[in-house]
Structure 1
Amino acid sequence: MGIPHFLVIPFPTQGHLNPSMQFSHALAKHGCNVTFISTEFNHKRVMMKAASSDQENLLGSKIKLASLPDGLDPEDERGDLQKLLLSIKKTMPSRLPKLIDEINALDDISKISCIVVTVNMGWALEIGSRLGIKGALLWPASATSLSLCDSIHSFIDGGVIDSEYGLPIKSQKIHLSPSMPLMDPKDLPWISLGRIFFEHLVQEMQTCKLAQWWLCNAVHELEPAAFSSSSRLSPIGGPMLASSDYNPTTFWEEDRTCLHWLDQQPSQSVIYVSFGSWSVLDPNQFTELALGLDLLDMPFLWVVKPGNEQYNAYPQEFKGTKGKIVGWAPQKKVLKHPAIACFISHCGWNSTLEGLYGGVPFLCLPIRNDQFVNKFFICEVWKVGLGLDKQENGVISGDEIKKKVELVRGSEDIKAMSLKCKEIVMENMEKEGGHYVRNLNNFIKWTKE
């Protein structure tokens, strides 16, 4: 067989696109060809953002970009994930076989040998199976969240959750492993999804069993219980974090002036605040966060995405004189900067990994889905951060934010655990002969068989 050719089809949100592009870079570094599928809507955004010559120079000839329609009109709201998901499942499956034929027609030597999908795109595995093309799942969240989703039927049979919404039936906590703290079933990753999405997830986990490999953007030593629970899970987090930072599918232009600003700040003095690409704070919470940053009287770097002005109304009292506010930041570089003292985060998995990689203590403000599982690990398992407690109205006060920032900055134990986790992640990135690299090599070798 010729050079392996991977068709990478992520669900079109930033939390899926980023690891999928990292994975594509890791495959290209190993000499493989990759065709990366975006929706037509996102593809146009990519083409507007960067000149094709820049893309070619940075991606190299090993990664090509292609697109399929998502079925929505240009003016439709793609922040409605349920609407987006249902439209994709209705529109894309009939068009994928033709695209595969077109891609294969361009290269007789390197035809598509494997389809790699993230969760929600399992329908492509079914098409690949019918066409005799191998399939793999790239899980964009933690290995623990994958293990939990794969255990849904066990939780239903055990009377832990109901079968309609996946909501907890009992208030008692659950043990993921004898060596781990008890977890509140309210933190299970599907709790905030609703009935339609939960039903989809149950079906999706069955469909994903068509994938012969379940590849996890994770580090074995940080989640040993998840990997011991299933031999199907393969960690490849080291090679992915070590891959290129260039990602043409990022929706917002990075404001790199923040790196120069950080250079002017004292060591471990800056609070970094970011809630990822998808999460939007309630307006009352946004106000309290702004007031909390003022109360701290410390330098802060705050990522406030453009386009959410109806939520992001700064209170009149907000001074923000010691801070810098940007629309988007080169987060991996920011979190490794020596000026960063702590990270106020929504605990999305990409942000969690990058925070661990930077050795930065966390303050956790999870909003939905797997973010609650990640907070559990940050606070209870790895002990690299603290949670923020809500008031009766469900809002975290500015005083609470100030108090917890001071606590996390003053905790030598949290700092020590943060550095220990950083060492674990760094070691996995740098081990050329480590089993993470072997996993990737074995996966590539399998596609050639």
Structure 2
Amino acid sequence: MSQKVESTSPQNVAVLVFPFTSHPSSLLQFVRSISAAAPDMKFTFFSLSRSNSSLFSGSGNRGFDNIKPYNVWDGFPEGSGNPLEQIELFFDRAACTFEKAIEEVEAETGHKFGCLISDAFLWFSSDIAKKMHIPWVTYWIGEQRSLLVHIETDIIREKVGAPGQEDKTLDFLPVFSDEFRASDLPKEIVFGNLESLFARMVHKMGEKLQQQATVVAINSFETMDLKVTEELKKRLLNKLILVGPLHLTQPVVPDRDDKDGCLQWLDKHKPASVAYISFGSSGTLPPIEVAALAEALDEGGFPFLWSFRGNKEDFPKGFVDRTSSIGKIVPWANQVQILNHSSVGVFVTHCGWNSILESVTGGVPMIGRPVFADQNLNMRSVEVVWKIGARIEGGVFTKTGAIKALEQALSLEQGKEMRHRVGVLKQLAQEAVGSDGRSAEDLKALVEIIKS
């Protein structure tokens, strides 16, 4: 028999998860940072069972006993393996599914939730929080500029959108120079199918964040992009807080030991001499680009550590054997530890926001090959705002383009300059999360908002 539900308690927090790609782990990292600052709070992490299983298994949640997973029904029929199909099915039912799950937990525990935290994608969380008469704290896993373009979607669609305008500059937007192009934008904003699930989702998100959010939190720091931060604060009516880089404030417990010996392998190399290669937890390159990058590493003789999740048959014949003395290929690597190793000289990346932040705090410049979502916009900032990396020539890997980029980053003056600039940002990031830093102060303010 369920207990009588008591009065709302700010100490009980519901967390609604977008259970795909890197979103669950990013949101859990955010919740852990709040938990560490307020260990008396209790968090219920609502997500799909398979997502929760991977996040909360083993020692991954050790030290965070006040964060409990709660599995919601996914509703996926047997054989629905297509990721886009699964996301559409999830969104068809998500609002009702989450509401029902919240009611179940409140009935089981006898305590009402006093705050709702959600991934920013889950814009309908605003309506759930409104019904419950509690604050809605939403979390954007990207950076400041990428959120600003979603808030400015209507004016972007008014100014840009006709076919052939991909090269149109975005200088009509505040804090965007003429070096930003419409082609840098996520396709859901302007050039893709604007009636697609993602296009409607992020457009609605931009509206709801301005209208109904109590707080909009971002895993970044104010001085990473000060002008954009100030503009975004205006748009969000000072609801914005920046609490990052979170991996510096609450390091994620490694999912596994360094069983492949990556760190020991790196110990044997000279400072800033190794190319670390990874395209995210779910990203893979087309086979032709895998081969081109492999050929560049082989012909150029560049030491490399490649966290590779693709098909090794895409490598040129004999590549693994020929490069065994200079290279190491592993299925998984502790990216934060590797990027903080002195021998890593460049990070070859898809330009996801977490990867960029981790590269910055490791003091490592980047070679970017964006794939989708906000990655092109991130890459443009890396190139023209912070000047701490370079996009691969032509936007895709060729052997000659990859050799050129690796030589510039590892051997030439351009690489030294990028390393110097990223070192400055690294220092700013460390200051932001220090005891008197702005990110640390924002996190304290967030805890007080939830408690009150």
TM above 0.5, yes or no, is yes
1:374 corresponds to: 378
Q: Distance in 1 between matches of 2:260 and 2:365?
A: 23
3-state SS in 1 of match to 2:356: helix
Which of 95, 100, 104 in structure 2 is aligned with 1:98? 100
**AA aligned opposite 1:186:** S
2:216 corresponds to: 214
The answer to whether the Cα contact below 8 Å between 2:10 and 2:115 also exists between their aligned partners in 1 is: no
The answer to whether the Cα contact below 8 Å between 1:171 and 1:185 also exists between their aligned partners in 2 is: yes
1:38 corresponds to: 47
2:169 corresponds to: 173
Tell me the alpha carbon deviations over residues 40-72 of structure 1, each in whole angstroms, 9 at most, x when there is no partner: 23234456xx34xx356x143221111212222
3-state SS in 1 of match to 2:22: helix
What is the correspondence of 1:5-44 to structure 2 with a 5 Å cutoff?
Answer: 5-31=12-38, 32-44=41-53
What's the CA shift for 1:181?
5.4
1:399 corresponds to: 400
Q: Distance in 1 between matches of 2:35 and 2:152?
A: 33
Q: Distance in 2 between matches of 1:247 and 1:190?
A: 34
Question: Is residue 134 of structure 2 the alignment partner of residue 133 of structure 1?
Answer: yes
3-state SS in 2 of match to 1:161: coil
Q: Distance in 2 between matches of 1:239 and 1:348?
A: 15
**AA aligned opposite 1:68:** V
Q: Distance in 2 between matches of 1:338 and 1:170?
A: 40
What is the correspondence of 1:103-114 to structure 2 with a 5 Å cutoff?
Answer: 103-105=105-107, 107-108=109-110, 111-114=112-115
2:436 corresponds to: 433
Change (3 A) 1:234 1:74: farther
What's the CA shift for 1:447?
2.0
3-state SS in 2 of match to 1:4: strand
TM-score relative to the length of structure 2: 0.87
1:237 corresponds to: 244
Q: Distance in 1 between matches of 2:114 and 2:10?
A: 9
TM-score relative to the length of structure 1: 0.87
**AA aligned opposite 2:14:** L
Which of 322, 346, 350 in structure 1 is aligned with 2:350? 346
Change (3 A) 1:438 1:257: same
What's the CA shift for 1:287?
0.8
What's the CA shift for 1:271?
0.6
What's the CA shift for 1:359?
0.5
**AA aligned opposite 1:161:** G
> Structure 2: where are the runs of 5+ without partners?
1-7
**AA aligned opposite 2:406:** V
3-state SS in 1 of match to 2:367: strand
Change (3 A) 1:149 1:435: same
1:160 corresponds to: 160
Question: Is residue 181 of structure 2 the alignment partner of residue 184 of structure 1?
Answer: yes
1:418 corresponds to: 422
Question: Which one is further off, 98-107 or 196-205?
Answer: 98-107
Question: Which one is further off, 195-204 or 340-349?
Answer: 195-204
The answer to whether the Cα contact below 8 Å between 1:89 and 1:123 also exists between their aligned partners in 2 is: no
The answer to whether the Cα contact below 8 Å between 2:48 and 2:72 also exists between their aligned partners in 1 is: yes
How many residue pairs get matched? Answer: 426
> Structure 1: where are the runs of 5+ without partners?
none
Q: Distance in 1 between matches of 2:379 and 2:331?
A: 25
Q: Distance in 1 between matches of 2:65 and 2:265?
A: 35
What's the CA shift for 1:219?
1.4
The percentage of counterpart residues that share the same residue type is 23
Runs of 4+ displaced beyond 3 Å? 44-47, 105-109, 167-171, 176-181, 190-195, 238-241, 252-256
Tell me the alpha carbon deviations over residues 342-391 of structure 1, each in whole angstroms, 9 at most, x when there is no partner: 0011100010000001000111111111111111111111111111112x
What's the CA shift for 1:134?
1.7
Change (3 A) 1:312 1:237: farther
What is the correspondence of 1:69-84 to structure 2 with a 5 Å cutoff?
Answer: 69-73=73-77, 75-77=79-81, 80=83, 82-84=84-86
Tell me the alpha carbon deviations over residues 225-254 of structure 1, each in whole angstroms, 9 at most, x when there is no partner: 222113222211145532131277xxx997
Change (3 A) 1:221 1:317: same
Question: Is residue 281 of structure 2 the alignment partner of residue 272 of structure 1?
Answer: no
3-state SS in 2 of match to 1:6: strand
The answer to whether the Cα contact below 8 Å between 1:253 and 1:328 also exists between their aligned partners in 2 is: no
**AA aligned opposite 1:172:** K
Q: Distance in 1 between matches of 2:313 and 2:55?
A: 26
**AA aligned opposite 1:62:** N
Q: Distance in 2 between matches of 1:20 and 1:326?
A: 26
Question: Which one is further off, 292-301 or 69-78?
Answer: 69-78
Change (3 A) 1:85 1:180: same
The answer to whether the Cα contact below 8 Å between 2:13 and 2:43 also exists between their aligned partners in 1 is: yes
Question: Which one is further off, 23-32 or 36-45?
Answer: 36-45
Q: Distance in 1 between matches of 2:435 and 2:11?
A: 21
